[in-house]
Amino acid sequence: MSMRRFSLNQWTTKRWSVAEAIDGCVRHGVEAIGLWRQDVARQGLEQSAKLVRDAGLRVSSLCRGGFLTSGSPESLDDNRRAIDEAAALEAACLVMVVGGLPGVVPDEPLGGPGQGVDRDLAGARERVAEALAVLAPYAAERGVRLALEPLHPMYCADRAVLSTLGQALDLAEPYPAGQVGVVVDTFHVWWDPQVFDQIARAGDRIASYQVCDFLHPLPANVLLGRGVMGDGVIDFAPLTEAVTAAGYTGDIEVEIFNADVWAADPDEVLARVKARFGELVAR
Amino acid sequence: MSMRRFSLNQWTTKRWSVAEAIDGCVRHGVEAIGLWRQDVARQGLEQSAKLVRDAGLRVSSLCRGGFLTSGSPESLDDNRRAIDEAAALEAACLVMVVGGLPGVVPDEPLGGPGQGVDRDLAGARERVAEALAVLAPYAAERGVRLALEPLHPMYCADRAVLSTLGQALDLAEPYPAGQVGVVVDTFHVWWDPQVFDQIARAGDRIASYQVCDFLHPLPANVLLGRGVMGDGVIDFAPLTEAVTAAGYTGDIEVEIFNADVWAADPDEVLARVKARFGELVAR
């Protein structure tokens, strides 16, 4: 596999603005980038779109839409805006992190028993399907592909009630593959006994392949348990082979949330993750 | 459901010795207890067996055998001893936590990249199946039922490559249900989109039903993310109904690993978990 498919997810070098990350990509010979909405908003949407175009970069994904489990009109509106932004950036997909149980806020403690948490997991999952029925046509009209991302089950309560690739494929099934795809992120799926069957089943539904390692032990904030490839427990070769065998030919994003990585010099980080990508993913 | 099915897993009141926990059960009108090998060894196996017999308690489980992924003869020997202990205690089952990737030690950092970790997850799972083929007949000869426990996927690397109830049932399938069963532990399975189908599939393979809540946010040591029922995000009613509909009539263990619970007075803890059990599980 070619190193040309390496894509820098912007939050791997979280200190960099959109402009700085684009410069970094150019400096390191990286052809693709995954952007985040918050950073795009700070840079300005039009300017971000111009910067990536001028640099000749592909936008492998825009992170992220989702958080649909409340069923609120506001969350649909926000997702329509995310779709518009993905269209403006000509992103290959809009990554959808569907949200956790209503009333559970990432990084915030729960109230007391019964206070404000909606524990109806099946209901939350149903609302995601309902929201998708509204958003998929809107995205299709704008040429944007939604990419449903199953998250590791340890994030089921607070970030994504979508917990396995199989479940994501069930959810995507009513829609054409070009309209609703799925994300295969090694961190989230490596443990799944069904992952190879489900990657094969996914076929051309794979809209994004993201790589990073699963650290042991997990840090105090489990969101930051994503490590540079080789620093954790994941065997990348069989997963990459499976995604390739399924027909995926797109960019491969390195997306690392990690306090030490974020504290390091972004140029050093980019050089390091490129090297590890070469050893463990592109080999 | 009757409160008589409430069982105290000894590690919910971790400071109590076997003798103290048995006394506590008698004092609180609890009829069943789940024991741990380490504590039984400290009390003495014969004395532990005598104490539970004299108190008229049922031993709902012995925790735990397993850690079979290294494929070492020593691990098989240790499991034979665990089976003998379960027989001596007349435990309803021996809980099997199958172990993580070889070279990954719970609570200890990994070495550097490539140092000592065997990342072959499929191979580790295969060795569990091979060890089970040795141990299941040994257990059956001694009248001990093995109970395969799928652990939450966040423990896949260090504690159990058995990550879903479906996977546990696949592993158990070659054996009679009375010989190799499965554990349904709410903490480990609540997120699984297939959990209700798999509980129904399990039927009389359910050897143990364990309850505790899933806390949010998780504590720094994710092993201790187990909360008193009602303190976390799990909806117990549908899981309990499914286990009941599957035909399970055995004891229901409350098993909570939690620094605050362990720091509290064990009598207060037992009273509290009994009350919550009445409200959320036995109702």
Amino acid at B19: A
Instruction: Answer whether A158 touches B (CB < 8 Å).
Output: yes
Instruction: Answer whether A121 touches B (CB < 8 Å).
Output: yes
Instruction: Answer whether B163 touches A (CB < 8 Å).
Output: yes
CB contact under 8 A, B157 and A216: yes
Q: What is the mean pLDDT of chain A?
A: 97
d(CA B34, CA B18): 10
Count the alpha carbons within 13 Å of A10 in the hemisphere toward its beta carbon: 28
Instruction: Answer whether B115 touches A (CB < 8 Å).
Output: no
Specify the pLDDT at position B97: 98
Cis amide linkage into residue A217, ω under 30° from 0: yes
How far is the alpha carbon of A74 from chain B, nearest alpha carbon, in Å? Answer: 24
What residues of chain A lie within 8 A of the CB of B217, using their CB?
106-109, 158, 221-222
Size of interface A-B (CB pairs under 8 A): 112
Specify the pLDDT at position B265: 98
Closest CA to B59 of B94, B13, B26: B94
- What is the enclosing helix (H) or strand (E) of A32? strand A32-36
Instruction: Answer whether A103 touches B (CB < 8 Å).
Output: no
- Which residue of chain B comes nearest to A230, CA vs CA? B113
Specify the pLDDT at position B114: 52
Can you list the residues of chain B whose pLDDT is less than 50?
none
What sign for the dihedral angle of Cα A82, A84, A89, A92?
positive
Instruction: Answer whether B267 touches A (CB < 8 Å).
Output: no
Tokens of B236: 């117990």
Specify the pLDDT at position B113: 53
pLDDT above 90 covers what percent of chain A? 96
CB contact under 8 A, A230 and B107: no
**What pLDDT band is residue A85 in, cutting at 50, 70 and 90?**
very high
- Which residue of chain B comes nearest to A101, CA vs CA? B233
How far is the alpha carbon of A25 from chain B, nearest alpha carbon, in Å? Answer: 26
- As for the ipTM of the complex, it is 0.97
Are A51 and A18 spatial neighbours (Cβ–Cβ below 8 Å)?
yes
How far is the alpha carbon of B26 from chain A, nearest alpha carbon, in Å? Answer: 28
Closest CA to A165 of A143, A145, A187: A187
How far is the alpha carbon of A234 from chain B, nearest alpha carbon, in Å? Answer: 6
Residues 175-194 on A with a CB inside 8 Å of B are 190-194
Are A82 and A65 spatial neighbours (Cβ–Cβ below 8 Å)?
yes
- What is the enclosing helix (H) or strand (E) of A185? strand A180-185
Instruction: Answer whether A108 touches B (CB < 8 Å).
Output: yes
Closest CA to A161 of A37, A67, A62: A67
CA dist list (Å): A22 to A26, A56, A67, A277: 6, 10, 28, 19
pLDDT tens across A189-231, in order? 999 999 999 999 999 999 999 999 999 999 999 999 999 999 9
Strand A32-36 relative to strand B32-36, pairing: unpaired
CB contact under 8 A, A152 and B153: yes
Cis amide linkage into residue B64, ω under 30° from 0: yes
pLDDT tens across A98-120, in order? 999 999 999 899 875 556 899 99
Burial label, B264 (beta-carbon count in 10 A; 0-12, 13-18, 19+): middle
How far is the alpha carbon of B238 from chain A, nearest alpha carbon, in Å? Answer: 10
How far is the alpha carbon of A205 from chain B, nearest alpha carbon, in Å? Answer: 20
pLDDT above 70 covers what percent of chain A? 99
Are B61 and B208 spatial neighbours (Cβ–Cβ below 8 Å)?
yes
- What is the enclosing helix (H) or strand (E) of A26? helix A18-27
pLDDT tens across A135-168, in order? 999 999 999 999 999 999 999 999 999 999 999 9
CB contact under 8 A, B191 and A117: no
How far is the alpha carbon of A125 from chain B, nearest alpha carbon, in Å? Answer: 9
Question: Of A117, A154, A167, which is closest to B152 when you measure between CB atoms?
Answer: A154
What residues of chain A lie within 8 A of the CB of B216, using their CB?
104, 109-110, 157-158
d(CA B177, CA B75): 24
CB contact under 8 A, B153 and A156: no
CB contact under 8 A, B235 and A119: yes
Res. A12: pLDDT tops 70:
yes
Question: Of B109, B113, B233, which is closest to A157 when you measure between CB atoms?
Answer: B233
- Which residue of chain A comes nearest to B114, CA vs CA? A230
Instruction: Answer whether B119 touches A (CB < 8 Å).
Output: yes
Strand A146-148 relative to strand A94-97, pairing: parallel
Phi, psi of B206, rounded to the nearest 5 degrees:
-70, 110
What residues of chain A lie within 8 A of the CB of B120, using their CB?
235
Tokens of B106: 């719970």
3-state secondary structure chain B: CCHHHEEEEHHHHCCCCHHHHHHHHHHCCCCEEEEEHHHHHHHCHHHHHHHHHHHCCEEEEEEEEECCCCCCHHHHHHHHHHHHHHHHHCCCCEEEECECCCCCCCCCCCCCCCCCCCCCHHHHHHHHHHHHHHHHHHHHHCCCCEEECCCCHHHCCCCECCCCHHHHHHHHCCCCCCCEEEEEEHHHHCCCCCHHHHHHHHHHHEEEEEECEECCCCCCCHHHCEECCCCCCCCHHHHHHHHHHCCCCCCEEECCCCHHHHHCCHHHHHHHHHHHHHHHCCC
Burial label, B120 (beta-carbon count in 10 A; 0-12, 13-18, 19+): middle
What residues of chain B lie within 8 A of the CB of A108, using their CB?
217
CB contact under 8 A, B193 and A166: yes
Q: Compute CA A170 distance to the chain's CA centroid, rounded to the nearest angstrom.
A: 18
How far is the alpha carbon of A41 from chain B, nearest alpha carbon, in Å? Answer: 29
Q: Which residue has the tokens 């395969």?
A: B148
How far is the alpha carbon of B73 from chain A, nearest alpha carbon, in Å? Answer: 25
Instruction: Write the CB contacts of B67 (distance below 8 Å, at least 6 apart in sequence).
Output: B75, B78, B97, B98, B99
CB contact under 8 A, B192 and A125: no
**Structural domains in chain B?**
3-280 (3.20.20.150)
